[in-house]
Amino acid sequence: MAEAAGKAEYIVGVDLGGTKILSGVFKHSLECVGTSKLSTKSQRGVEAVIERVARCVREAVDESDLTLKQVAGVGIGAPGAVNFAEGRVIFAPNMEGWKDVSLKKDLEKQLGVPVFVENDCNIAALGVHAAELKGKPKSLIGIFVGTGIGGGIIINGDLYAGFNHTAGEIGHMVLDVNGPKCGCGNKGCFEALASRTAIFQQIKAGIKDGQKTILTDMLGDDLSDLRSGDLRKAIRRGDKFTDKIVEGAAEYIGIGVANLVNIFSPEVVVLGGGVIEALADEMMSVIVETAQDYAMPGTMKGVEIVASELGDSAGITGGAVLARRETK
Amino acid sequence: MAEAAGKAEYIVGVDLGGTKILSGVFKHSLECVGTSKLSTKSQRGVEAVIERVARCVREAVDESDLTLKQVAGVGIGAPGAVNFAEGRVIFAPNMEGWKDVSLKKDLEKQLGVPVFVENDCNIAALGVHAAELKGKPKSLIGIFVGTGIGGGIIINGDLYAGFNHTAGEIGHMVLDVNGPKCGCGNKGCFEALASRTAIFQQIKAGIKDGQKTILTDMLGDDLSDLRSGDLRKAIRRGDKFTDKIVEGAAEYIGIGVANLVNIFSPEVVVLGGGVIEALADEMMSVIVETAQDYAMPGTMKGVEIVASELGDSAGITGGAVLARRETK
């Protein structure tokens, strides 16, 4: 499989998350030829994490029977605010000590390959747009529901990042001004109502109030190690309590979708992230129905609302798309 | 003042509203050389209104000592959803019978001049961007607070209308999912919380509950003919009740601004419309402070939040900008 050495015709996408690092090596056609995965270990500090990112890239390249000389560029999605031009992570709330980190410069030093840094949700939207939807929609909003909720926006076929490169901070759109407290300090933010964190909190609060659920039979009373997939299993086993909470979250996601459709009039709305990946069958119809209820007449005509099928690969694919764009 | 006949070097902007029609004749430099105003009389039916629009244009042209032969094009903002390509008003909720009206075709027949139809808030944002801000900001959101709340979006220096040409429907962004009922059928929409209609309803409900206010001394117990300007007068005379309600609306506008800044990361947020025109001194500091409280760290850096000074002229100016763009 080894190609003629020295020809830099591959690109690498990296998804740097709070718990794990994923890398994928891609051809320019966006065919993935090898991947690698490492835990992030953010508690070891910024320098250690950057070394792990570099190692994860090297391992994916080795896995693909290639060398770094054959890589034209690396695109990386980081979970926070970034300065794209300088390749700096300004702030990543879920990673210890990540304030104003020169990720591009430090990684380039270690890898000897050009590196491009973007926000993780922007990257994921780019990946879904380019690979899953073949770059066809002129405008798209990606909504990624996991620990938090983030968004990525495509306008005129390209990533839209806005004046401060912060566009897509949809997780802190206020939907219920008197609603539950959010980690950001405000009340009733989208992610305080419909993220995995919000869903788990509601489940734990319900159990404390004496609600019965199969989840405690499955995982014990303290629900240690609860995951989104467990919610799906409980619902499929007829657990009404879990079903109701997940449906409630889906309704809020539907309202969020309607707000964004009213504001943006995108051609496609794509939902992704761990919660959607695990619960698409349970949530999507409620999301679509609620969005149609709340959107203004005429705004939904012909608009597709779909769950991404890229799953965990959205990030690495988007990273590759970014690297391809920047090294053209 | 008459120019050489036959040279079509002027453009006309029209603001078609539920109660009045404004027309303005402009040079290409966007200097206004004459205006005209008529009541809409929408109860007389669609055809009559279109004739009145044509009359209003003719009167503004005559007022400017010009003839229609010297007009290159007419740009018109209509209060509803439009099909820009076909120049049709799809639906205008505040105008009797306005469903699928071929405004462009009908007006062109009457005036013999090319006509271009846009949504009124899109047009107003375009006017503020081009004339008041000299076209400088790359991205801008205009928020117009009057009977309802509408928005207009500039991206990459031009109007962004989206897939269904409905972008900017910010008045129905849900901010308080359990809030007051909105005319659209949902609850807690932006305009159900902060429009003139919402403010007046809160004032009337308060009076019914026995609240004391200078407004009843000024206008009688039924507050017939209450206008935004009366609120300003009452507040300046020390009316705490009115002050509190207006401040509450300003807080909601601030939350709406923060949501839009989080989502869009615009360079400039412009506030306009009758409520802002009358109450800018009372509301703007609360709007800016609340927006800064609710926006995510980093999103507000260098973002200007300003009240438009174009007032009523935003619409006719934007109409002229549109006509200028389309007849280039």
Q: Which residues of A touch B81 (CB under 8 A)?
A: 297-298
Q: What percent of chain A has pLDDT over 70?
A: 98
Cross-chain residue pair A296–B162, CB shorter than 8 Å = no
Closest CA to A162 of B299, B40, B182: B299
- Cβ atoms of residues A125 and A151 within 8 Å: yes
- Pairwise CB contact (< 8 Å): A164 & B90: no
- At B1, the pLDDT band (50, 70, 90 cuts) reads very low
Write the pLDDT tens digit of every residue in A245-282.
999 999 999 999 999 999 999 999 999 999 999 999 99
Burial A39-54 (b: 16+ CB within 10 A, else e): ebebeeebeebbebbb
Which residues of chain A neighbour B174 with C-beta distances below 8 Å?
Answer: 175, 255, 258-259, 294
Closest CA to B52 of B107, B96, B108: B107
**pLDDT, tens digit, 9 for 90 and up, residues B51-98:** 999 999 999 999 999 999 999 999 999 998 899 999 999 988 888 899
Provide, as residue numbers in chain B, all residues whose Cβ is less than 8 Å from the Cβ of A139.
162-163
Planar angle of CA B229, B230, B234, nearest 5 degrees: 120
Contacts of B168 (CB under 8 A, 6+ apart): A263, B119, B121, B122, B125, B150, B151, B152, B153, B161
**Tokens of residue B52, six digits:** 């009145």
Residues in A touching B168 (Cβ below 8 Å): 263
Interface predicted TM-score of the whole assembly (ipTM), two decimals:
0.92
A-chain CB neighbours of B265 within 8 Å are: 161-167, 169
User: What is the widest separation between alpha-carbon atoms in chain B?
Assistant: 65
How far B201 CA lies from chain A's nearest CA (Å)?
Answer: 20
pLDDT for position A94: 81
Question: What's the pTM?
Answer: 0.93
- Please, what is the angle between helix B196-208 and helix B228-236, to 10°? 60
Residues 6+ apart with CB under 8 A from A205: none
A139 Cβ under 8 Å from any chain B Cβ: yes
Helix (H/G/I), strand (E/B), else coil: B205: helix
B297 → closest Cβ in A91, A155, A302: A91
Interface of A with B in 269-308 (CB under 8 A): 293-294, 296-303
The verdict on B170 touching A (C-beta cutoff 8 Å) is yes
Which of B81, B139, B176 is closest, CB to CB, to A163? Answer: B139
Does B187 reach chain A within 8 Å, measured CB to CB?
A: no
If you measure CA to CA, which chain B residue comes closest to A254? B174
Give the distance from residue B221's alpha carbon to the nearest chain A alpha carbon, in angstroms. Answer: 32
Average of per-residue pLDDT across B119-138: 97
Interface test with A, best of B121, B155, B174 (most A CBs within 10 A): B174
